[in-house]
């Protein structure tokens, strides 16, 4: 009964996503970017002692940190503000369905779209790597880990997008907030941390606050998790050093917990909307 | 018989502005109640409170023996918003299938419901291509889902052509006969006149009048208008015999209080009259009478 109600919303939202070309756009984007990275990874890079696919996974991780949150926010910012603007929300809220079920219905639909896009992109990159290098089979577990953690990262930013959508109540305002959140968490946050680490020069901030700050950001936790889990750590520069100091279970916990936190925030924000 | 909807001493304020002030009324099963009022009188606010979309500040409401907005109440109440809106990318059938599933009903009923509101031919077209009247009918179709005990309809006939309006009221009659209570707001006073059992008049958040149309008519004690057409050549004599008669075209109009109606009719019958028409005060007159009395 409850599941049927949630899936009713999911079916409708998925249909809308197909008709709005979101499925096509997201999938094409992921496939094109993944193939570009696979091609770049296939160029002779010297012998780093790892298979092609593991190198590609490391590149895909860096790509997905930017692209998956962006796609998720683009799909979600309109979810509630759009209903308010179209005038469809009051009627929906008179139906015997809790608000959290409306959100879950939308979340499932958008997650399906995101999974299709991410899955198609990673599969294309994986196939390209396997064609070039038979040893790439060794990298398949890392690719699988990247896939499901990307979906969870997407879920986190979908939830955040719904929360912003409910807070803004207008699509234009929600779009602005979504861009702000993306810039803040995915771009500026790392720059800020980098600056702080450089200024701190190995002091208490670098050893105690910095690891926590990485775990607190869902995008950083995602990158950390995939890089520290993969044998490809050596192939990646950047946060690889930091990744070594943080236990794998901590970044995994952050990756797993953030979708729930985001959904909780979205529900709280949606409950405050008075049509 | 217990009421489907009971409202007592309901008050709602928005930042110092009183939208509803001490409003009390009830709606019995099977009755069709019209909620009338000028723009901003509080009709939509009242409906939103009944639906549980917003909360009242004072007083109490019972909807189908439950609190407004509770899961129990929402399962038994259907709503048709003013200017019903839907996602333009969905077809009418898809939209109704979703609403059916949300109410735990079989989605296969969608076509039958659309057929009931005369929209079966457009069921597979996207709602984005629909006219306002067609969207209104999708809204009506979703309000019919699952035998609701209370229907709250905000300006349900806006955007419908006269034939559709007649069909719409015929549908309501059927629902009321099955025991559903209907609360509708409207500006089209003439159609409400013929099609509702009970009338509520809101003015500036205050319920200024409530009752069946005949009761309201008696209480308003508005004058009756008679239009008298004289026989050829008798016009001047008629005008002299009826002081206060106003010539209108070839006829004369005279107004009189309700209690003098029969006496006046007797006098007119003795004059050279070709035709006579008696017009009781319309709902428009009664409505303006009650809403103006409150300082409007």
pLDDT in tens, A121-159: 999 999 988 888 888 888 888 899 999 999 999 999 999
User: Do B123 and B97 touch, CB atoms closer than 8 A?
Assistant: no
- Count A/B contacts: CB-CB distance under 8 Å: 72
**B223-280 belongs to CATH 3.30.70.120:** yes
pTM to 2 decimal places: 0.87
Testing the interface with B: which of A3, A12, A87 to mutate, by most B Cβ within 10 A? Answer: A12
Cα separation, B29 vs B69, in Å, equals 19
Work out the pLDDT band at B114, boundaries 50, 70, 90: very high
Comma-separated ranges of CATH 3.30.70.120 domains in chain B: 223-280
User: Are B97 and B78 spatial neighbours (Cβ–Cβ below 8 Å)?
Assistant: no
Angle at B8 between CA B4 and CA B12, to 5 degrees: 115
Q: How far is CA B75 from CA A273, B79, B146, B182, in A?
A: 21, 11, 9, 16
What value of ipTM does the predicted structure carry?
0.88
B positions 67-106 inside 8 Å of A (CB)? 71, 74-75, 77-79, 81, 83-87, 89-90, 94-95, 97-99, 101-104
pLDDT per position as a tens digit, B236-276 = 888 888 888 888 888 888 888 888 888 888 888 888 788 88
Distance from CA of A14 to the nearest CA of B (A): 11
pLDDT at B284 (0 to 100): 79
- Parts of chain B belonging to CATH 3.40.50.300: 5-218
Q: Which one is predicted more confidently, B197 or A91?
A: A91
Q: Which CATH superfamily is domain B5-218 in?
A: P-loop containing nucleotide triphosphate hydrolases (3.40.50.300)
**Mean pLDDT (whole number) for B43-51:** 93
What average pLDDT does range B139-167 have in this prediction?
Answer: 90
Please tell me the predicted confidence (pLDDT) of residue B296. 42
Residue A222: predicted pLDDT: 95
Is the pLDDT at B5 greater than 70? The verdict is yes
Q: How far is A256 from chain B (nearest CA, A)?
A: 30
| Residues B241 and B266: beta-carbon distance below 8 Å | no
Q: For A178-187, how does the pLDDT look when each residue is reduced to its tens digit (9 = 90+)? A: 999 999 999 9
What residues of chain A have any CB closer than 8 angstroms to a CB in chain B? 1, 4-5, 7-9, 11-12, 15-16, 19-20, 86-88, 90-91, 93-98, 274-275
- Whether residues B102 and A9 touch (CB distance < 8 A) is answered with yes
Task: Kindly report the nearest CA distance between residue B83 and chain A, in angstroms.
Answer: 8
Please, where are the H alpha helices in chain B?
Answer: 43-51, 71-76, 92-102, 110-116, 132-143, 162-177, 189-195, 213-220, 235-241, 261-270, 283-293
pLDDT, one tens digit per residue, over B175-213 is 999 999 999 998 777 778 778 889 998 888 889 888 888
Query: Is residue A233 scored above 60 in pLDDT?
Result: no
B53:A15 CB<8 A:
no
Q: What is the pLDDT of residues A243-269, one digit of tens each?
A: 567 888 888 999 999 999 999 999 999
Give how far Cα B79 sits from Cα of A53, A94, A170, B97, B155, Å: 56, 7, 24, 17, 11
* Inter-chain CB proximity A96 and B84 less than 8 Å: no
The pLDDT of residue A41 is 66
């Amino acid at each position: 009964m409850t599941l049927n109600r949630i899936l009713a919303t999911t079916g409708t939202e998925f249909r809308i996503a197909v008709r709005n070309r979101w499925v096509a756009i997201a999938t094409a984007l992921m496939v094109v970017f993944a193939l570009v990275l696979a091609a770049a990874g296939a160029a002779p890079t010297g012998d780093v002692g790892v298979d092609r696919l593991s190198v590609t996974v490391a590149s895909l991780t860096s790509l997905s940190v930017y692209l998956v949150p962006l796609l998720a926010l683009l799909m979600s910012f309109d979810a509630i503000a759009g209903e308010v603007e179209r005038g469809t929300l009051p009627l929906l809220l008179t139906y015997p369905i809790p608000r959290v079920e409306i959100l879950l219905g939308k979340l499932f639909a958008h997650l399906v779209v995101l999974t299709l896009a991410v899955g198609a992109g990673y599969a294309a990159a994986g196939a390209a790597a396997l064609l070039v290098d038979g040893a790439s089979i060794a990298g398949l577990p890392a690719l699988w880990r990247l896939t499901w953690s990307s979906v969870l990262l997407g879920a986190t930013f979908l939830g955040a997008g719904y929360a912003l959508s409910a807070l803004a109540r207008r699509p234009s305002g929600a779009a602005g907030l979504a861009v702000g959140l993306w810039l803040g968490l995915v771009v500026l946050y790392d720059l800020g941390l980098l600056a702080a680490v450089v200024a701190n020069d190995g002091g208490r901030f670098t050893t105690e606050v910095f690891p926590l700050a990485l775990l607190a950001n869902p995008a950083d936790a995602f990158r950390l998790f995939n890089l520290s889990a993969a044998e490809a750590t050596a192939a990646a520069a950047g946060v690889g050093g930091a990744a070594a100091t943080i236990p794998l279970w901590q970044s995994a916990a952050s990756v797993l917990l953030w979708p729930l936190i985001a959904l909780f925030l979205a529900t709280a924000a949606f409950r405050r909307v008075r049509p | 018989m217990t009421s489907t909807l009971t409202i007592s001493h309901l008050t709602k304020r928005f930042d110092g502005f009183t939208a509803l002030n001490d409003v009390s009324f009830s709606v019995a099963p099977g009755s069709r109640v019209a909620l009338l009022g000028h723009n901003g009188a509080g009709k939509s606010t009242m409906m939103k409170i009944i639906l549980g979309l917003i909360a009242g500040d004072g007083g109490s409401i019972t909807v189908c023996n439950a609190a407004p907005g509770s899961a129990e109440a929402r399962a038994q109440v259907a709503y048709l918003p003013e200017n019903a809106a839907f996602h333009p990318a969905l077809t009418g059938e898809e939209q109704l299938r979703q609403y059916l599933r949300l109410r735990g009903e079989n989605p296969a009923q969608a076509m039958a419901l659309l057929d009931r509101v005369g929209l079966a031919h457009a069921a597979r077209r996207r709602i984005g291509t629909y006219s306002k009247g067609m969207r209104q009918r999708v809204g009506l179709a979703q309000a019919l889902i699952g035998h609701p005990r209370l229907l709250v309809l905000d300006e349900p006939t806006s955007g419908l052509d006269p034939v559709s309006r007649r069909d719409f009221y015929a549908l309501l009659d059927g629902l009321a006969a099955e025991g559903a209570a209907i609360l509708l707001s409207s500006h089209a006073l003439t159609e409400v006149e013929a099609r509702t059992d009970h009338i509520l008049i809101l003015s500036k958040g205050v319920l200024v009048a409530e009752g069946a149309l005949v009761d309201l008519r008696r209480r308003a004690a508005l004058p009756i208008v008679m239009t008298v057409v004289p026989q050829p050549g008798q016009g001047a004599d008629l005008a002299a015999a009826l002081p206060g008669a106003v010539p209108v075209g070839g006829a004369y109009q005279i107004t009189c209080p309700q209690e003098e109606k029969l006496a006046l009719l007797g006098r007119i019958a003795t004059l050279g009259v070709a035709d006579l028409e008696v017009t009781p005060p319309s709902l428009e007159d009664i409505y303006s009478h009650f809403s103006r009395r409150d300082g409007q």
